[in-house]
Amino acid sequence: MSGVIRSWQCQNSRCQKAFDSWEPNPACPSCKCVRVGWIPGGGHIAGTVKAADAELRALADVFRMTDMHSAQEGRGAKKVAQQPQTSGQVHTFAGGFAANINPSAGAQCVPTANNFNVKVHATPGNALGPGALGLPSVRTNTAIQATHKP
């Protein structure tokens, strides 16, 4: 296990010396005062960004990943086009959405096969009840085993 060395400054007005320590809350080595303040050093990463970009480019070239992009200001993330799966059976899930899935293929991320909209249009003074979205209430399948009221 490795520790973190931090820079501290003594808060004693007569001492005010700066020192480094591995301790989480050290005493000043000069005057032994326990009132010390941490001096944040910042994250010294300014020189590593160009090296990280160069390493990313080298790895992309080695593995022939020509569609790889690192972040740039003003450029959005690259959108990957999703291919809708048309094979498989249409299964209707709880909540009313349906999807073409192949049960033997394991976990799948596919778009819905029907127009599924869960947006709620709330208006002032109209409370949304448990069945507002067509789903059963939480109390529907709840069994109360015991209660205690002091």
Measured CA to CA, the distance from residue 112 to residue 43 in angstroms comes to 45
Q: pLDDT averaged over the chain?
A: 77
pLDDT digits (tens, 9 = 90+) for 32-88: 999 999 888 765 666 677 787 788 888 888 888 777 665 666 666 565 565 655 666
Look at the chain and report how many structural domains it folds into: 1
Task: Evaluate whether residue 12 is within a structural domain.
Answer: yes
Task: Evaluate whether residue 34 is within a structural domain.
Answer: yes
- Tokens 């192949």 sit at which residue? 102
Q: Which domain holds residue 16?
A: 6-39
pTM of the model as a whole: 0.30
Measured CA to CA, the distance from residue 6 to residue 39 in angstroms comes to 8
Measured CA to CA, the distance from residue 122 to residue 138 in angstroms comes to 20
